Amino acid sequence: MAEKNQDKGLTIVYTGNGKGKTTAALGICVRAAGYRKKIKILQFVKGSWKYGELEGIKLLKDFVDMEQVGEGFVGIVDDNKEFEVHQKAAREGLEHARQVIFSGEYDIVILDELNIAVDLGLVDADAVLELVKSKPEALHLVITGRNARPELIEIADLVTEMKEIKHPYQKGVLAQRAIDW
């Protein structure tokens, strides 16, 4: 019976206040590339900083394609854009995600920080749920970001909550290149 379900595409959610959600999704990406799977990563609510994963993913370019569909952080750090600008980008990003998911080109689609886009009101939660429910059966879909909606948790196949126990920032240590970004 386990063999029969081996080709079922899973919906995987990484959520919680602890670090490691995007990192876990990228771990799946690296593993899948090792099996020559095709992966698409769409990053919501990222875009204004240069992240190490942008350069690292280029090394896997034969198998992984990554795009930033957001306009960066919303209302924090270096954000000086109107909320509507973020909202428009996220909504267009969700429509792009729909096209990618149904394109048949990819084995795995990672929607990084989509939970945050929902939580901030950039995209409609019901539209996300409908997309998840209608994804192709063989496609693996990974969604990251804190504050995952209970309805998403309910329909997902695997949910991991990252829980912060200790963080170097609590001792005044700032984010580290190659570890945090």
Query: Strand 158-161 and strand 108-112: pairing?
Result: unpaired
Instruction: Quote the CA–CA distance of 37 and 180 in Å, as a whole number.
Output: 26
Nearest C-alpha neighbor of 122 from the set 133, 136, 111: 111
Question: Higher model confidence: residue 160 or residue 52?
Answer: 160
**Within a domain: residue 172?**
no
For the chain, the average pLDDT equals: 90
Confidence check: pLDDT of 94 > 80: yes
- By the 8 A CB rule, do 29 and 39 touch? yes
Is the separation of the CB atoms in 41 and 29 below 8 Å? yes
Per-residue pLDDT, 136 = 98
Domain that includes residue 149, residue range: 12-167
Distance of CA 22 to the CA centre of its chain: 6
pLDDT at res. 5 = 64
Residue at 49 is within a domain: yes
Q: Name 139's Cβ contacts closer than 8 Å, sequence gap at least 6.
A: 9, 101, 106, 107, 108, 109
Q: DSSP assignment, residue 37? A: -
Q: Is residue 2 part of a domain?
A: no
**For the whole prediction, is pTM greater than 0.85?**
yes
The pLDDT of residue 85 is above 60: yes
Least confident of 41-45, 73-77, 174-178: 73-77
CATH of the domain at 57: 3.40.50.300
* pLDDT-based confidence at residue 47 (cuts at 50, 70, 90): low
Q: How many domains does the chain have?
A: 1
